[in-house]
Structure 1
Amino acid sequence: MKQYLYLSLVPEALIASNLPPEEFGNYYATGAFRRNCDPAIFFELDPNFESDYLPMDKFAELCSPHADGSAHKSVNLSVYRVLEHVPMAAFKNLYLVTSDGKALELSQRPFEPDPSRKIYLYQDLAPCRPRVASILNPAEYARRLTSSERLVHFEKIAFFDMKLGDLERDPVNGDLGDLPYTNRHHLRDCLDAVRTKGGKNNKIVARSMGEILYRTVGSGFYVGAGGELLFYPMPSKDELETDHFQWFKSAQFT
């Protein structure tokens, strides 16, 4: 039986499984009896990487099928400081799973910054989960937060950028439309502060993530470590409606 290795971001965990990605995502989001309903975000990993910190030597043993031949659905190998110890080369595709278990697979592409964008809203996923207003593009943001020259920094960070609607053009008076952000006045203040004050590149909007809503995802998902950046672009709304309609319909409520 095939063995798979996954890095969950919500929560952060290294997981071994005999289930392929879409089956694992369905199980992870809904549970064995489909009584759970939590969205899941995870990477498939190359299980052949070596680590002095993560128990990779236990992977094959713990991921063997049960004595009756049934699959091991989920075996936690580590739940602490996982992201920083996974080599960038080990990241494969990313999966976004809705609360009813439908999975969308995203692949890596080279990142090209958009020079027209001047302001961003980021949701960090691991190792911590603040929501941050910034004037840095994703590559700059990841480089700054993982720079060893800073007193407080991460070894690696996973995050996505969020849609801003008209706030990208005018944080003070722009229309948020149907974007489901709470505490909108505070959000406007934070975006305006990083845009106008200069020198302060980032400002925390919220200290925790709250509910995952896929319809707020902007250009895509990122993993950064110093000068290295992995980019997983989010399909456009038209692409989702045309090619992934069942996921798209489910994601309106996730």
Structure 2
Amino acid sequence: MTTHLYLSLIPEALIASGLTPEEFGLYYAIGNAKRARGQAVFFSVDRGALPPGAFDLSDVEARTSPHPDGHPKNSVYLSIYRVLEFIPREALTALHLTTDDGRTLTLLPRPYEPDGEQRARMYQEFCPVNPRVVSNLDPAAFTAFITDTSQPVHVPRIAFTELTLGTLRGDPDSADPDVEDLPYPNIGHLRDCLRELATGPAKPTKTVLRQMTQEVLFRTVRRAFYVGDSTGLTAFPMPDRDALEREHLAWWRSAQSAFGH
């Protein structure tokens, strides 16, 4: 039986499992009577691309051997602290997004392609820190900024996504009625953060929420999820709306039903 390695982002952990990504997503989101139901965001990890000695995998096959009845081992936690920083970007072979009813969408990595837009953005960071921030930096510049070791606050590697801002992306005072339908708490505070960003260009980011909630706003993701460090940026692009409705309708309906925070 194949042993899979997964990097969970909520919470951060390296997990070995005998389950396929779809089976693991279902288990991790719904689980059993022992754990609460919730969404899951996790990567498939190529063991052969891990640096030697980064993790103790010497007995991983024995620890993930099937149960006596032949059922695969659901999960074995291998590390729960500072995991992402020891997993190079090239070892992340796929990103899996699982809704709270266990439906999984798989995204494959591609080189980052800038959109060329100069505007405000909102990022949800996942790991190793998880605030929600607005920024005047595009994903590549944001990655370079937050992984810059010359900065007093930095991280070695970051996983994050960009969330839609609607018409607020160009005007914090937009009166478009759709703004009030954005599924974020306290739109007034979000407007204030964007105004401060616009009037203080020397500060490239402003914190909107200090810590994300368990609910992931899959339906508000703009373009892609990203993993970046000082060497570059890898994108895991989301399908466009048409592809979601044609090819991933069950997942998309489930993602739309989630109540955002």
TM-score grouping bracket, smaller chain normalisation: over 0.9
| Cα pair distance change 1:157/1:35, threshold 3 Å | closer
Q: Deviation of residue 47 (structure 1)?
A: 1.7
The answer to whether the 8 A contact 1:162-1:217 is kept is yes
In structure 2, the partner of 1:182 is: 185
Distance 2:104 2:33 in 1: 18
- With normalisation by structure 2, the TM-score equals 0.92
CA contact (8 A) 2:161 2:221 kept: yes
Displacement of 1:192: 1.9
Task: Tell me, in whole angstroms, the C-alpha distance in 2 between the residues paired with 1:142 and 1:205.
Answer: 18
State the shift of 1:203 in Å: 0.6
**Structure 2 match to 1:37:** 37
Cα RMSD over matched residues? Answer: 1.6
Kindly report which structure 2 residues correspond to 1:22-61, keeping only aligned pairs within 5 A, or say none: 22-32=22-32, 36-48=36-48, 49-61=50-62
Q: Deviations over 1:98-124 (max 9, x none)?
A: 000000010112211122241100000
Q: Does 1:228 align with 2:232?
A: yes
CA contact (8 A) 2:180 2:187 kept: no
TM-score for both structures, normalised by structure 1: 0.95
Unaligned runs of 5+ in 2: none
- Structure 1 residues not aligned, in runs of 5+: none
Distance 1:88 1:35, change over 3 A: closer
Per the alignment, residue 2 of structure 1 pairs with 2
Task: Report the count of equivalent residues.
Answer: 254
User: Identity across aligned pairs (percent)?
Assistant: 46
Equivalent-residue separation in structure 2 for 1:58 and 1:133 (angstroms):
43
Map 1:112-123 onto structure 2 (within 5 A). Answer: 112-123=113-124
Report the 3-state secondary structure (helix = DSSP H, G, I; strand = E; otherwise coil) of the residue aligned with 1:143.
helix
Output the amino acid matched with 1:2.
Answer: T
Q: How far did 1:34 drift?
A: 10
**Compared with structure 1, are the counterparts of its residues 227 and 174 closer, same or farther at alpha carbon in structure 2 (3 Å cutoff)?**
farther
Q: Per-residue deviation at 1:178?
A: 2.4
Question: Deviation of residue 177 (structure 1)?
Answer: 4.9
| Distance in 2 (alpha carbons) for counterparts of 1:51 and 1:253 | 43
Structure 1 stretches of 4+ with a deviation exceeding 4 A read 33-36
Instruction: Name the aligned partner's letter for residue 236 of structure 1.
Output: D
The aligned counterpart of 1:249 is: 253
Question: What is residue 90 of structure 2 aligned with on the other side?
Answer: 89
